[in-house]
């Protein structure tokens, strides 16, 4: 059994769910068109635990949450995260973690090969980068993400 065995293709799941409410076992969820490529990317880059966290945030924080009404997950933040994951290559020791900020933005954090912290927070229009090893703390527009990642992390 693979990570994606419980995800039904959109057309199949839609057809089944239109027949009866009980057609789809509760451990299956409907994947929208295009989700499989995103899910594979997240699983490949962040591992099973990162994929689970991503799913958890998407499914449970789509509305205001918390005692102070924190913001729901930002779809534009998620798009920026996915764009960054396409360009980032993590070392086997990096073990990237995925977090959700009170503003509804995704944040990636991992350690470089010397154990120093690297963090990227993905806003809807810009991303914030912190690299402990070099003291870099910058904000850039999302349109420059691929160039900045290539420059800072020697990725693609």
Give the tens place of pLDDT for each residue, 39-83. 899 999 999 999 999 988 888 877 766 666 677 788 899 999 999
- Residues 20 and 58 grouped into a single domain: no
Domain assignment present for residue 149? The answer is yes
How far, rounded to the nearest angstrom, does the alpha carbon of residue 47 sit from its chain's CA centroid?
A: 11
d(CA 37, CA 31): 11
Domain assignment present for residue 83? The answer is yes
The pLDDT > 70 percentage for the chain reads 72
pLDDT band at 143 (very low <50, low <70, confident <90, very high): very high
- Residues 27 and 82 grouped into a single domain: no
pTM score = 0.74
- Is residue 36 exposed (0-12), middle (13-18) or buried (19+ Cβ within 10 Å)? middle
Domain assignment present for residue 43? The answer is no
Q: Is the pLDDT of residue 15 over 60?
A: no
Domain assignment present for residue 128? The answer is yes
Count of other CB atoms within 10 angstroms of residue 118: 22
- The structure tokens 């960054």 sit at 84
- Residues 121 and 76 grouped into a single domain: yes
Domain assignment present for residue 79? The answer is yes
The structural domain count of the chain equals 2
- Residues 20 and 62 grouped into a single domain: no
Q: Which domain range does residue 119 map to?
A: 48-153
């Amino acid at each position: 059994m693979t990570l994606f065995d419980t995800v039904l293709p959109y057309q199949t799941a839609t057809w089944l769910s239109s027949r009866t409410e009980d057609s789809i076992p509760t451990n299956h969820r409907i994947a929208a068109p295009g989700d499989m490529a995103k899910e594979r990317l997240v699983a490949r880059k962040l591992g099973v635990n990162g994929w689970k966290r991503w799913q958890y945030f998407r499914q449970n924080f789509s509305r205001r949450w918390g005692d102070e009404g924190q913001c729901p997950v930002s779809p534009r933040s998620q798009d920026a995260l996915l764009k960054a994951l396409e360009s980032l290559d993590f070392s086997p020791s990096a073990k990237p973690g995925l977090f959700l900020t009170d503003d509804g933005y995704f944040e990636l954090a991992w350690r470089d090969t010397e154990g120093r912290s690297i963090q990227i927070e993905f806003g809807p229009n810009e991303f914030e980068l912190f690299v402990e090893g070099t003291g870099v703390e910058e904000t850039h527009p999302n349109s420059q993400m691929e160039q900045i990642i290539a420059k800072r992390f020697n990725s693609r």
